[in-house]
């Protein structure tokens, strides 16, 4: 009994000691955290300290009479790049110096922004997350309506009325730097070798229903994704890029897709990069599918991507006997069930159009002639009758295709590149196509023809590849719906172009818009 009592009292002493030690530890942790809070000023630093402690203090009089507003230099402000501190490279609680345009972390004592304000006498800062303005080192919030244009450039917003009027607007906007631009017809910065992605992003930004969806963040903000899912970053960054491209109050007449491309590199696991030329069709295919999945798209659940671009077709497949077999054996095999034609229904996001093989040998006169082919000749692949042979490693198949559903926006990818074990070869054949009135009714099955009221399409975007297969450059022709005029965009360069010139280029990817009842023919055809 005595032994147990001693142990009990000893245990009590230990627990008391541990308790007091724990309190000492918790006090130390609290002090450390308080020190960190003052230095780092994390995202909660915008809360009024006086409110936390149950007291109310009037607003700092200096908030509405900051003497440093005239030091702001709007011409150096660029919010297109990653929101990282230029010193710590942290993305937590980053402030932009509105005098020199650089990014710094925190605003408390010893923080990078605080030190910068003291060293260089730069006093006005913007929190890139909360969109609040501060004066440092005095550390008070600045409240002034004249700063609203800066927050709007950082985070443009659109009302439903503004969105519906975008395609009716023909007026030029004037940027802060004095240049004029048409919203949507805006150059994209080529960071190193990302023109292939720029062309695709500019094409997609000129597809009105897709653009309108992403201009309103509310449309996709509530989509739930699994924990740790990084693919939704694509959706967020694409939305941000759309809003910047269509901003009517930009500071400059071009946009950098830096943050969008960082998301592409991350989400594609470096399949597509900023520093290495990529293939436009490969990128388009991956991007549309990744966007659809990130928005919660499945075989049963549709998204804005499938609503705009997805059509369907029937694929008829027939296995062929090996060509080296004797004729009698081939005939016998063709009677087997394995060699009978099968049919499957399949969806598509784009149609691949095959070019006829370019001539290998030319005489002196033909050297000046670039082979040409009409668009309808290569569209015949989808008439349900034309058969094409496809070879695999072991077997050969005959396939034919017939369209059963046409989407509101139809993408053509013209197959210019063929890859073999040694190199990639480019077919320079020019495709002759009209810019308007392409009727695809004859490529639909009979029952599909009865279901489709509208089957006529007009071109809205034409992506061109110039130069060698693995190098080369991309440019794009887009139709501005408000003016009815065509423009050529190549990275930062934006020029108007005559519609007749578009058909002379080596078209690679095209987006066509289905014409509805109330629409008349476009201008510039």
Per residue in 115-146, pLDDT (tens digit) is 999 999 999 999 999 999 999 999 999 999 99
Q: How far is CA 438 from the centre of its chain?
A: 28
Domains of the chain, with CATH numbers? 69-152 (3.30.40.10), 155-303 (3.90.70.10), 307-358+369-514 (3.90.70.10)
The answer, yes or no, to whether the previous bond of 137 is cis (omega within 30 of 0) is yes
User: 195-205 vs 208-215: helix axis angle to the nearest 10?
Assistant: 90
Q: How far apart are CA 415 and CA 427, in angstroms?
A: 8
Distance, in Å, from the CA atom of 361 to the CA atom of 396, rounded to the nearest integer, reads 28
CB atoms within 10 A of CB 17: 10
pTM for the complete prediction? 0.84
pLDDT computed for residue 88 by the predictor:
93
| Residue 89, CA distances (Å) to 65, 82, 94, 95, 192 in order | 33, 10, 10, 12, 21
Per-residue pLDDT, 41:
43
Closest CA to 239 of 163, 328, 164: 163
Helices of type H across 310-374: 327-334
CA distances from 370 to 35, 160, 465, 502 (A): 72, 48, 16, 16
Position 455 scores a pLDDT of: 94
Listed in sequence order, the residues at least 6 apart from 490 whose beta carbon sits closer than 8 Å to its beta carbon are: 195, 473, 474, 475, 476
Torsion of CA 179, 180, 183, 185, to 10 degrees: -80
The pLDDT, as a whole number, for residue 362 is 58
Structure confidence at residue 247 (pLDDT): 94
DSSP state of 512: E
Per-residue pLDDT of the chain (525 residues; tens, 9 = 90+): 443 443 334 444 333 333 344 444 444 445 444 444 444 444 444 444 333 333 334 567 788 889 999 999 999 998 988 899 999 999 899 999 999 999 999 998 889 999 999 999 999 999 999 999 999 999 999 999 999 999 999 999 999 999 999 998 888 999 988 899 999 999 999 888 899 999 999 999 999 999 999 999 999 998 888 888 899 999 999 999 999 999 999 999 899 999 999 999 999 999 998 888 889 999 999 999 999 999 998 888 999 999 999 999 999 999 888 877 888 887 888 888 888 889 999 999 999 999 988 766 555 555 657 789 999 999 999 999 998 888 877 788 899 999 999 999 999 999 999 887 778 889 989 999 999 999 999 999 999 999 999 999 999 999 999 988 878 899 999 999 989 999 999 989 999 999 999 998 899 999 999 998 655 544 443
């Amino acid at each position: 009994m005595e032994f147990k009592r001693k142990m009990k009292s000893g245990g009590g002493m230990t627990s008391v000691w541990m308790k007091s030690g724990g309190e000492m530890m918790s006090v130390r942790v609290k002090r450390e955290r308080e020190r960190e809070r003052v230095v780092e000023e994390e995202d909660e630093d915008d809360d009024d300290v006086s409110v936390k402690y149950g007291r109310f203090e009037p607003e700092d009089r200096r908030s509405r009479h900051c003497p440093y507003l005239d030091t702001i230099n709007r011409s150096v402000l660029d919010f297109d790049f990653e929101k990282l501190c230029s010193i710590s490279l942290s993305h937590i609680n980053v402030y932009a110096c509105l005098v020199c345009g650089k990014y710094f972390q925190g605003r408390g004592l010893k923080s990078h922004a605080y030190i910068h304000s003291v060293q260089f006498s730069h006093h006005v800062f913007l929190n890139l997350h909360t969109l609040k303005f501060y004066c440092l080192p005095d550390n008070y919030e600045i409240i002034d309506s004249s700063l609203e244009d800066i927050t709007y450039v950082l985070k443009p917003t659109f009302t439903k009325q503004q969105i519906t009027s975008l395609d009716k607007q023909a007026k030029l906007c004037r940027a802060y730097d004095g240049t004029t631009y048409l919203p949507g017809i805006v150059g994209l910065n080529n960071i190193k070798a990302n023109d292939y992605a720029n062309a695709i992003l500019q094409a997609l930004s000129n597809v009105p229903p897709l653009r309108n969806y992403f201009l309103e963040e509310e449309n996709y903000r509530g989509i739930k994704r699994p924990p740790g899912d990084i693919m939704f970053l694509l959706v967020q960054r694409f939305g941000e890029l759309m809003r910047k491209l269509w901003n009517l109050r930009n500071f400059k007449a071009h946009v950098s897709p830096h943050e969008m491309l960082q998301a592409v590199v991350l989400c594609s696991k470096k399949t597509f990069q900023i520093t290495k030329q990529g293939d436009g069709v490969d990128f388009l295919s991956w991007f549309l599918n990744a966007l659809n999945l990130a928005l919660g798209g499945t075989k049963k659940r549709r998204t804005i991507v499938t609503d705009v671009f997805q059509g369907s077709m029937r694929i008829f497949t027939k296995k062929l006997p090996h060509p080296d077999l004797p004729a009698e054996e081939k005939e016998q095999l063709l009677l087997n069930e394995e060699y009978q034609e099968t049919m499957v229904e399949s969806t598509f996001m784009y149609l691949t159009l095959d070019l006829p093989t370019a001539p290998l040998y030319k005489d002196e006169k033909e050297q000046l002639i670039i082979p040409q082919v009409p668009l309808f000749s290569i569209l015949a692949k989808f008439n349900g009758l034309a058969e094409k042979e496809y070879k695999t490693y072991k077997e050969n198949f005959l396939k034919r295709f017939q369209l059963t559903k046409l989407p509101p926006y139809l993408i053509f990818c013209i197959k210019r590149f063929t890859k073999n074990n040694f190199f990639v070869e480019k077919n320079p054949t020019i495709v002759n196509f009209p810019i308007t009135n392409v009727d695809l009714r004859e490529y639909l099955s009979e029952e599909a023809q009865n279901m489709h009221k509208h089957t006529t399409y007009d071109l809205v975007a034409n992506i061109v590849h110039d130069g060698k297969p693995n190098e080369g450059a991309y440019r794009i022709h887009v139709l501005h719906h408000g003016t009815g005029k065509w423009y050529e965009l190549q990275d930062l360069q934006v020029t108007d172009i005559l519609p007749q010139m578009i058909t002379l280029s080596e078209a690679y990817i095209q987006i066509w818009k289905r014409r509805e009842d109330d629409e008349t023919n476009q201008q510039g055809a």
